[in-house]
Amino acid sequence: MEDLYADQTREVPFHGWHHVSFVAHNARKFAEELGADTATAEIAGLVHDVNYLVAARGGASVGTPLRARALRDIGLDADSVKIIDEIVITAETHSRGQDLSPEAMALSDADTLFKALPITPVILAPLYMRETGRSLRDLAEKIVSEQVPLRDDGIYFYSESARKKYEGWGDVNLRLWSCILDSLDDTLVVDLVSQVEKYTSIPAGSQSEPGGCWQ
Ligand SMILES: [Fe+2]
C-alpha cells in the first residue's frame, strides 16, 4: 500500500502516507476497544484517503475505483472490498452520525484524532490548504461547520479512551478554528494575511457576515 503513495501522481502533503499510516495504526487500536475487526479497521485506514491521490476535492467516493483496485491487489475478495468502501464512506466527517459500524467508528476516531492533534493547525493545516487549494476561510468554515455539530451531538469521538484522552484537544482545536473564522471578519486580520501571503501562500478567503467566536 505504501507503494501506492510512493508512486503518487498528485502531491498530497497533508493526506500522504504519514497521514494514512497514522490513521491505520490508531484505527486498529480503537478497533480493539470498540470490539471491531482490527484488520478491517486498519486496512480501511490505509485506503480511506486514496481519493486525494485522484482529485483534490470530491470526498471518499471519488476514490472508490482506486480503493477497490488497491484492495484487490492485496488479495481481498469483492465482498470485503465493498465492506471496506462502505466503512470509509460512512466514516466521513461531513456525514457521519450515531449509527456507524464499530470499524467505521474506529476509523473515524483515528482520523479525528489526527485533526485534533495540537500540532495540526500549526504544521499540517498549511499543507492541507496547499494540497486542496482551499483558503484559510474555506478551511475554517469546513472545520467549524462539520465538527462543531459532531462535538455538540457527543460523537466527536466514539471510543471511551479517545474521549478521555483527546476530547480536550478537540475542544481547543474547534475553539481555535472558530476564532480564526471570526478573525477573518476583522479587516485588520484580512489586511495582515494579504500582506504576508507572499511568504505563506495562504489566501485569507472572501469575507462573510461577522459571527461570534465559538466557546
Ligand atoms: Fe483522513
Residue 179 Cα to ligand 1 middle (Å): 24
Residue 208 lies in a domain: no
Is residue 36 in some structural domain?
A: yes
Residue 207 lies in a domain: no
Is 205 inside a domain boundary? no
SS (H, E, C) the chain: CHHHHHCCCCCCCCCCHHHHHHHHHHHHHHHHHHCCCHHHHHHHHHHCCCHHHHCCCCCHHHHHHHHHHHHHHCCCCHHHHHHHHHHHHHCCCCCCCCCCCHHHHHHHHHHHHHHHCCCHHHHHHHHHHHHHCCCHHHHHHHHHHHHHHHHHCCCCCCCHHHHHHHHHHHHHHHHHHHHHHHHCCCHHHHHHHHHHHHHHCCCCCCCCCCCCCCC
Residues surrounding ion ligand 1 at CB below 5 Å: 49, 111
Q: Would you state the pLDDT for residue 215?
A: 45
Question: Is position 65 within any domain?
Answer: yes
Number of domains in the chain: 1
Calculate how far, in angstroms, residue 61's C-alpha sits from the geometric centre of ligand 1: 13
- Rounded to the nearest whole angstrom, what is the distance from the C-alpha of residue 125 to the centroid of ligand 1? 13
> pLDDT band at 2, cuts 50/70/90?
confident
CA 30 to ligand 1 center in whole angstroms: 15
Enclosing domain of residue 41:
2-200
At 92 the pLDDT is: 97
pLDDT (mean) for 145-149: 98
Q: Which of 9-18, 37-46, 76-85, 169-178 is predicted least confidently?
A: 9-18
pLDDT at 209: 46
Between the CA of 114 and the centroid of ligand 1 the distance, in Å, is 8
Task: State the CATH number of the domain containing residue 115.
Answer: 1.10.3210
As a whole number, mean pLDDT of residues 130-146 equals: 95
Reported confidence tier of residue 210, pLDDT bands at 50, 70, 90: very low
Please say if the pLDDT value at position 208 is more than 60. no
Chain segment 156-184, per-residue pLDDT in tens: 999 999 999 999 999 999 999 999 999 99
pTM, rounded to two decimals: 0.93
Question: Would you state the pLDDT for residue 211?
Answer: 45
The pLDDT value recorded for residue 174 is: 98
More confident residue, 2 or 48: 48
Q: Whole-angstrom Cα distance, residue 89 to residue 60?
A: 6
pLDDT at 64 (0 to 100) = 97
pLDDT tens-digit readout, 89-127: 999 999 999 999 999 999 999 999 999 999 999 999 999
Question: What local confidence, expressed as pLDDT, does residue 206 receive?
Answer: 64
> Is the residue at 25 inside a domain?
yes
Mean pLDDT score across all residues of the chain? 92
Residue 77 domain flag: yes
Q: Is residue 105 part of a domain?
A: yes
20 alpha carbon – ligand 1 mean position (Å): 6
Q: How far away, in angstroms, is 48 Cα from ligand 1 center?
A: 6
Distance 183 CA to ligand 1 centre (A): 27
